[in-house]
Amino acid sequence: MDTTLRDGSHSVRHQYSADNVAKVTSALAKARIDTIEVTHGDGLGGSSIQYGFGKLSDRELLQAAKPVIGNSKLAVLLLPGIGIKEDLEMAYREGARVARICTHVTEADISAQHMDLAKKIGMEVVGFLMLAHMVEPQKVLEQAKLMESYGADVVYVVDSAGAMVPDHVRSRVSLLVSHLKVKAGFHAHNNLGLAIGNTLAAIEEGVDVVDGSLAGMGAGAGNTPTEVLVAVLDKMGYETGVDLYAIMDAAEDVVRPLMQRPQVIDKSALSIGYAGVYSSFLLHTARAAEKYKLDPRDILIELGKRKVVGGQEDMIVDVALELTRAR
Amino acid sequence: MGRIRVGLLGTGNIGTDLLIKIFNKSKCLEVGMFSGIDPESEGIQRARQMGIPASADGINAILADPSIKIVFDATSAKSHYVHAPLLKEAGMIAIDLTPAAIGPYVVPAVDMNKSTMGEPNINMVTCGGQATIPMVYAVSRITEVSYSETVTTIPSKSAGPGTRANIDEFTDTTAKGAKVIGGAKLSKSIIILNPAEPPILNQHTIYVVLEQEPDQRAILASIEAMVDTVRGYVPGYRLKHPPFFDGKRVTIMVEVEGAGDFLPKYAGNLDIMTSAALAAGEAIACKMLEKGVIQ
């Protein structure tokens, strides 16, 4: 599943234009990517002061993608607590057929009503257990089983902070693969430079679905670069079904020109992976660091100590204010 | 002076905390029946130990006692839709602590008297609403608010099955409350659960966007005054930082430390809900006694 137009949205502060969406979607469809996710970085309803307003509404994003998506499936992301069931209904009307419902790794039960609805209206349901590095593998499995019981067709181990090393991935993915009846998935971030390696580890443990993003465009240092992953898997003898040249062109010719900043492992992104903090905090922290004249790393390390979870962007300012007071 | 007999529906965390608050602190209320649907519930056992009639017969146990005048419903939105008409028919005033919101919203800090009097069913919005709406109102009473956005973060341990099944209802009701009571033209509500150990305190960030450039001093003074008002019934309510301005936007960050009556102090979100419900119930009951309602 490609998440250039969702996780990548964080990288452009949710300012994708209809033209960006159409071009990226066509390029992905042309390369025969199975599922294309298109939503605000924080999911349906994410456009807000807390996460940043989108240039386009979720409906407009979907309307830009649907006409050019060809045979690929259109997916949307939703975090209960931010997006609501009506948002899923809207997404379905606009052509989305895959609903990726995310909760923090310990809070699967808040997704029951959303998964239930998505299944009822005829969508494939993917459960996302975010910041999966924060708890033991057994706990991840326990929560994955809950999502399975709510109707999820796939349950993902999500390394939202890009904090996992391959062994962490193996221990979590293998449990899901051996104990779930439904498929298992893995979503990586590259903050420790391990996105490809972690994704390979997940595949070796039997994961069925993985995420990528063109040129790695995504939160923090970015996601697993789709085009690189395809090349690697090709070389290893896997049948990806993806057109390698077309996906390389998509990354280089369509996505790179619209990047607003390079997807690199700079000091902040590295600190995010190191501290185990949600990747989308990167740009918000940079802004707070500038405003309050702090080192972003200090803010990120403190957020990690507090075990802050995804969605808590307001805590960035809270920490910044406290650090300023302490100075 | 006598007391008004009340029923408590729902024997979980919120119901039990309310039971203990009424038992310990209330002047005008006494609990006539504490009823839920789970016979194994710790709440029911605790009530019995306290000498309070308790039952696992749900609303039936309450309807069976016509001396009950006010009923606090701390079950779930879905259940409250069933309970509300039954309570109305029985002539019992309903104080709804779920996001069902059949009746008007009541946020004691804003204007209790107007909205509680005479209504057969009043709604306590949500725990997030009780914490954030006073802040939105504190701003809107000074200047026009075009948009408010509230982010409520609660410790996972304080989120029971009722909350978890009602996430959408929570955000919907909280946002509506911010408009209707808080005075915002448009509003959005976000809720986040955080499982960190030791549990975090309940915290809220309230972003308020104004139509005009702010009179910062007036707004700050209004916020401080409102914080004091809320502290009148929720002593653990406080600003985390001085509110700050960014053009036409003001950011307010509050945290709520629970009283620790029954629930641990980190469950400030539940405490503010029960404290607000108690304040509303108390106001209705004391008024009834003043008017000489026969018990």
CATH of the domain at A287: 1.10.8.60
Q: Is residue A262 part of a domain?
A: no
Token representation of residue B221:
């003074």
Q: What is the pLDDT of residues B113-144, one digit of tens each?
A: 665 668 999 999 999 999 999 999 999 999 99
- Domain boundaries defined on chain B: 4-124+273-291, 127-265
Tell me the per-residue pLDDT of B162-219, one tens digit each, with 9 for 90 and over.
889 989 999 999 999 999 999 999 999 999 999 999 999 999 999 999 999 999 999 9
pLDDT digits (tens, 9 = 90+) for B3-53: 999 999 999 888 999 999 999 999 999 999 999 999 999 999 999 999 999
Q: Which of B190, B197, B240 sits opposite A81 (nearest CB)?
A: B190
| Contacts (Cβ under 8 Å, ≥6 apart) of B98 | B73, B74, B75, B76, B77, B79, B80, B162, B166, B169
Domain end position, chosen among A257, A279, A301: A257
Instruction: Please name the residue of chain A whose CA is at the shortest distance from the CA of residue B193.
Output: A107
Domains in chain A, number: 2
- Mutate which of B127, B153, B192, B253 to disrupt the A interface (most A C-beta within 10 Å)? B192
**Are A147 and A180 within one domain?**
yes
A179 and A308 within one domain: no
Choose the closest CB to B191 out of A81, A308, A314: A81
What is the extent of the structural domain holding A288? Answer: 267-326
CA distance A40 to A16: 9
Interchain CB contact of B172 with A (< 8 Å): yes
Please check whether residues A29 and A80 belong to one and the same domain: yes
Is the confidence at residue A322, as pLDDT, over 80?
yes
> Which H or E run includes A3?
strand A2-5
- DSSP bridge pairs for A178: none
Note whether B149 contacts A49, CB cutoff 8 Å: yes
Q: Does the predicted interface ipTM exceed a cut of 0.85?
A: yes
Q: Residues A155, A98: one domain?
A: yes
Q: Name the band, by pLDDT with cuts 50, 70 and 90, for residue B99.
A: confident
CATH (domain of A177): 3.20.20.70
- Homologous superfamily of the B127-265 domain (CATH): Dihydrodipicolinate Reductase; domain 2 (3.30.360.10)
Residues A111 and A220 reside in one and the same domain: yes
Which among B149, B197, B241 has CB closest to A321? Answer: B241
* Residue-by-residue DSSP string for A183-236: EEEEE-B-TTS-HHHHHHHHHHTT-SEE-BBGGG-SSTT-B-BHHHHHHHHHHT
Q: Given this model, what pLDDT does residue A180 score? A: 98
Measured between alpha carbons, how far is A152 from A209 in angstroms, rounded to an integer?
Answer: 13
Q: Which two tokens stand for residue A71?
A: 């045979």
Give the end of a domain, one of A257, A290, A309.
Answer: A257
- For residue B73, pLDDT over 60 is answered with yes
Q: Which of A312, A317, A323 to mutate to test the interface with B (most CBs of B within 10 A)?
A: A312
Q: What is the pLDDT of residues B79-93, one digit of tens each?
A: 999 999 999 999 999
Q: Are the folds of B4-124+273-291 and B127-265 the same?
A: no
Instruction: Please tell me the CATH superfamily of domain B4-124+273-291, with its number.
Output: NAD(P)-binding Rossmann-like Domain (3.40.50.720)
- What burial letters (b/e) apply to A29-51, b meaning 16+ CB within 10 Å? bbbebbbbbbbbbbbbbbbbbbb
Residue A282 and residue A200 in one domain: no
Q: Report the predicted TM-score, pTM, of the whole model to 2 decimal places.
A: 0.94
Q: Average pLDDT in the A8-28 region?
A: 98
Residues A223, A216: contact at Cβ < 8 Å?
Answer: yes
If asked whether residues A144 and A274 sit together in one domain, one would say no
Q: Which residues of A are catalytic, by number?
A: 10
Return the active site residues of B. 127
Are both A234 and A87 inside the same structural domain?
A: yes
A58 and A201 inside one domain: yes
Whose tokens are 């056992």? That residue is B45
| Average of per-residue pLDDT values in chain A | 97
Q: Is B56 within 8 Å of chain A by CB?
A: no
From A200, A227, A257, the end of a domain falls on A257
Instruction: Tally C-beta pairs within 8 A across A and B.
Output: 81
Does residue A251 sit in the same domain as residue A274? no
Which residues from chain A sit within 8 angstroms of residue B251, using beta carbons?
Answer: 317
**Distance between CA atoms of A32 and A292, rounded to whole angstroms?**
46
